[in-house]
Amino acid sequence: MIRKKKSFDSKVTFKTNNVASRVFERQIRTPAPGTSVHCARRFYENLVPRFTIYDVECPDHSFFKFTDDGQYFVSFSKNRQDLIVYRPKWLSYSCNVEDCDDAHELPPQAKRFESFFTQLYVQSLASCNELICKDFFLYMESTQFGIFATSTAQIQDARAADGAILGVPSFEKITIHLLRLQDGVKLDEKVFHNDCVNFTHNMGAFLYDDLLAVVSLRYQTIHILQIRDSGNLVDVRAIGAYCREDDELFINSSSQASCFCFSVLHLSFIMYGRYRTD
């Protein structure tokens, strides 16, 4: 089988990770309109951190995690009442010699937390009898919405309720908060009463696109909420005892039909017995 040799396309450009080649390419090429910032940010791929700073003066907070896009750093107060959000400053200090080691000490400002992060705001989430679930946080990168949860103290010996599973602990109040991380404005909330949701490591909630699924352990129900771009939490469906919206109507109508058939059959046996007696 004879294969034709592919012709070389002069329009094909080869990208390199070599920093010298990138600097030379920046001098001889003009980036496309509106892409100059993105081209400049590619140089960060050649800047690799190789020095660790210890004993940094940090605020007395519970630091949680960065958002997926790296724009925000989420933390909570020690009393688990307030949300504190920071924005990273990224590269702040560097060494301009060939071999950087411990001998080249950084300025004293490098050992301060404020030199690497800027505090954006402090938002109070939990009420006086609630605490922030410090192991739970979901982030919508498209709208930069943050999803947090607060709850009251756990009740071990919860009273039986209709549809509730015995032996499952209960929380008097569980609140899911929707915030805009850009400025900390609270957009909406969803409250569950006398329920149990396991928020540890996001086990009890799952985010897919604009749909949020919350699993109720006490009532064995999956609550599906839609997050609108306007910042509203809208109830879409609850999957539990009934999966579809008309299941309850169908089951009730079927039970009524079964009761009617049983009554007709019972009446037929009575009439047949009287006929045999006569």
Quote the number of domains for the chain: 1
Whether 246 maps to a domain, the answer reads no
Nearest to 143, CA basis, from 39, 241, 229 = 229
Q: What is the pLDDT of residue 8?
A: 41
> Taking the chain (278 residues) in consecutive chunks of 10 residues, what is each chunk's mean pLDDT?
46 63 80 78 71 83 90 94 91 64 68 90 91 94 94 85 83 95 94 93 93 93 94 90 63 58 56 56
Whether 164 maps to a domain, the answer reads yes
Whether 53 maps to a domain, the answer reads yes
Q: What is the pLDDT of residue 6?
A: 47
Strands 154-155 and 185-195, sheet pairing: unpaired
Whether 17 maps to a domain, the answer reads no
* Domain carrying residue 90: 46-95+107-241
DSSP-assigned letters across all residues of the chain = ---PPPPPPTT-------HHHHHHHHHH--PPTT-HHHHHHGGGGG--------S-B--SEEEEEE-TTSS-EEEEETTS-EEEEEEE--------SSS--TTSPPPGGGGBGGGTEEEEEEEE-S-TT-EE-TT--EEETTTTEEEEEEE--EESSPPP-TTPPTT--EEEEEEEEEEETTTTEEEEEEEEEEE----GGGTTEEEETTEEEEEETTTTEEEEEEE-TTS-EEEEEEESS-SSTTHHHHHHHHHHHHHHHHHHHHHHHHHHHHHHH-
Q: What is the pLDDT of residue 179?
A: 96
Whether 220 maps to a domain, the answer reads yes
List of residues 6+ apart from 98 with CB closer than 8 A? none
Whether 39 maps to a domain, the answer reads no
Task: Work out the widest C-alpha separation in the chain, in whole angstroms.
Answer: 117
Q: What does the alpha-carbon distance between residue 7 and residue 13 come to, in Å, rounded to a whole number?
A: 15
Q: What is the pLDDT of residue 240?
A: 79
Whether 172 maps to a domain, the answer reads yes
Q: What does the alpha-carbon distance between residue 170 and residue 196 come to, in Å, rounded to a whole number?
A: 5
Handedness of CA 95, 96, 100, 103 (dihedral sign): negative
Nearest to 143, CA basis, from 232, 207, 231 = 231
Q: What is the CATH number of the domain that holds 208?
A: 2.40.128.630
Whether 178 maps to a domain, the answer reads yes
